[in-house]
Amino acid sequence: MVLKDVFSVDPPRGVIHIIVKMPTPTPATTGKRKLDLDDVNEDQDRKKSKLTVPEKILTSSQKIMEDIKKLPDDPNVYSNPENLISLPFPFIGERRPVERFSIRDNKFLYMGRKAFDKVLKTINELESGNGYMDFFIYGTMGYGKSYILATIVCFLLKTKRRVVYLPDCRELGISHLLR
């Protein structure tokens, strides 16, 4: 796949592009078509195997979710600069972005930022769209972009949304290059 096949215009250089390709639906069989024996065996093997999650990961993710459930439901709380909130850092990986966050006991202090509401609103609008969508958050160094995103993750999890959060995607590129 070439970027020109996905984007109508050349995307900017030096930016990580995430492309999600939805799986093609498999047609329902009426029984008239013969199934490939390899497909049947692979499907049975998949059903037999059970995903096991290491105890440490399970325990730490449960603890994070317990802490997140105690957070306020009102998004305005996170937009008010007068509020200083202790939030669980919503990441169970080992390498945390300590150069951007002050994390103690798996928590970080978040001071409400007016931009939180705008970011949340834009993310909610992205969900209802179709096709390729992008959203860039930019600001001066030290404004709190990373803190806002981590807080958005906590809020979305609090409101029972599914989230994939990578606080530092550079780590993905490095680990794959070394292997």
pLDDT over 70 (residue 119):
yes
The two tokens of residue 157 are: 């999890």
> Does residue 84 come out as left (phi exceeding 0), alpha (psi in the -120 to 50 range) or beta?
beta
* 80: number of Cβ within 10 Å: 16
What's the pLDDT band for 156 if we cut at 50, 70, 90?
A: very high
pLDDT greater than 90 at residue 21: no
C-alpha–C-alpha distance, residues 176 and 173, integer Å: 5
pLDDT score recorded for residue 165: 82
Task: Supply the pLDDT for residue 137.
Answer: 83
Query: Out of 38-47, 87-96, 106-115, which region has the weakest mean confidence (pLDDT)?
Result: 38-47
Average pLDDT, the chain: 77
Which pairs with CB-CB distance under 8 Å and at least 24 residues apart come from 168-177? 168/95, 168/97, 168/100, 169/16, 171/93, 171/95
Instruction: Write the DSSP assignment of 11-26 as a string of letters.
Output: PPTTS------PPPPP
Q: Is it the case that residue 18 has pLDDT exceeding 90? A: no
Average pLDDT over residues 94-102: 73
SS3 104: strand
Reported pTM: 0.63
Spell out the residues 6+ positions from residue 59 whose beta carbon is closer than 8 angstroms to its own. none
> Given a cut of 90, is residue 69 above it in pLDDT?
yes
Ranges of each domain in the chain: 55-178
- Most confident stretch, 25-34, 91-100, 122-131, 147-156: 147-156
